Amino acid sequence: MTGIVVEDVSRAFGTVQAVRAATLRAEPGRVTGLVGPNGAGKTTLLLMLASLLAPDTGRISIGGVDPSADPLAARRRLGWVPDALGAWPSLTARETIVTTARLYDMPKPEAATRAEQLLALVGLGDLADAPAKVLSRGQKQKLGLARALVHDPQVLLLDEPASGLDPEARVHLRVLLRRFAAEGRTVLISSHILSELEEVVDDAVFLVAGSVVDAAPAQASVRAWRVRLAGATPERMNADAWQVASLLGLAPESLGSDRGAVLVGFTDDDGAAQALRRLVEAGLPVAEFAPAQSALEHTFLNLPQPPASAPTPPPAGTETGA
């Protein structure tokens, strides 16, 4: 299996360029996060991977199959979980899975067994005979994941799969995704919940204004760390900041504050580790020393913007205003 390969893929809707010359890979046995702001083109890219949209230019491979050239073969290799998957409201959760399995030419007895397995896997065993129309949004997300797994796909595409899930269900989803990767599947997940992605992804692809952006400059930028001394109070913030700054050779006014902690910037983990050692060796009662943002959040918030596209010149003979 070759996982997911995207090479120089673009897609426009009229004058709106949703995806611009995107190139990325998602490898088997790994969970890859697709990260970007609203309107970045994540869903458009996922729809092309799922064979539901054709790219204007470029090449896509799903497990070695081009979804534009052979969508049926691609769909047999992939499981697709959109942000909001419409359910058949009159069918129960069990009937939904059995019907989906039958669409993949699975015999009835095997389809029934598969439904039992998948509903238990996603935590819907107790609601197997409940009509889909009474399920909550989070429960429908679970049903959508079960539907995507019916044919045992080797590639999984998930668009905001944690949307509507309660905290316990989100933890369960993370465990499942890591399990899928351990089984050798390729998992590509898009989410705005960066703290959730941080705990599950092996790799991250950053999409801004339809373009895949090199995250290296953002990763190398200064990252804030929280330094909180034992017994910290708002009244002591200035004194704590002065102690930390003086020991680290920094100007006190260069430090920030956050909920009783002093904020100090470091460009890498080695610099942070050296600073912690100096503070502890000096006898400061360090109660907390941790990044103020996760690595994924820090990178996302400091992403370089892609160059603006050159404007289309007006047709010959067209007058323009001064």
* Cα 209 off chain centre by: 16
- Contact assessment for residue 207 and residue 185, using Cβ atoms and an 8 Å cutoff: no
Q: What is residue 309's predicted lDDT score, i.e. its pLDDT? A: 53
- The single residue listed with the structure tokens 């360090």 is 286
**DSSP string covering 95-130:** HHHHHHHHHTT--HHHHHHHHHHHHHHTT-GGGTTS
Q: What is residue 293's predicted lDDT score, i.e. its pLDDT? A: 83
Q: What is residue 307's predicted lDDT score, i.e. its pLDDT? A: 59
Q: What is residue 281's predicted lDDT score, i.e. its pLDDT? A: 95
Q: What is residue 71's predicted lDDT score, i.e. its pLDDT? A: 94
Q: What is residue 308's predicted lDDT score, i.e. its pLDDT? A: 56
Q: Is the pTM of this model over 0.85?
A: no
Which tokens go with 317?
């003979």
> Where do the domains of the chain lie, and which CATH numbers do they carry?
4-213 (3.40.50.300), 217-301 (3.30.70)
Burial of 102 (0-12, 13-18, 19+ CB in 10 A): middle
Neighbouring CB atoms inside 10 A of 312's CB total: 7
Q: What is residue 310's predicted lDDT score, i.e. its pLDDT? A: 45
Q: What is residue 27's predicted lDDT score, i.e. its pLDDT? A: 96
Amino acid type, 306: P
Question: Any idea how long the chain is?
Answer: 322
pLDDT, tens digit only, all 322 positions of the chain: 579 999 999 999 999 999 999 999 999 999 999 998 888 899 999 999 999 999 999 999 999 999 999 999 999 999 999 887 666 788 999 999 999 999 999 999 999 999 999 999 999 999 999 998 888 888 988 999 999 999 999 999 999 888 878 888 888 999 999 999 999 999 999 987 787 788 899 999 999 999 998 877 766 788 899 999 998 888 888 899 999 999 999 998 889 888 889 999 998 889 999 999 999 999 999 999 999 888 888 888 887 766 555 444 444 444 444 3
Q: What is residue 117's predicted lDDT score, i.e. its pLDDT? A: 96
Which tokens go with 153?
């796909």
Phi-psi sector, 63: left (phi>0), alpha (psi -120 to 50), beta: left
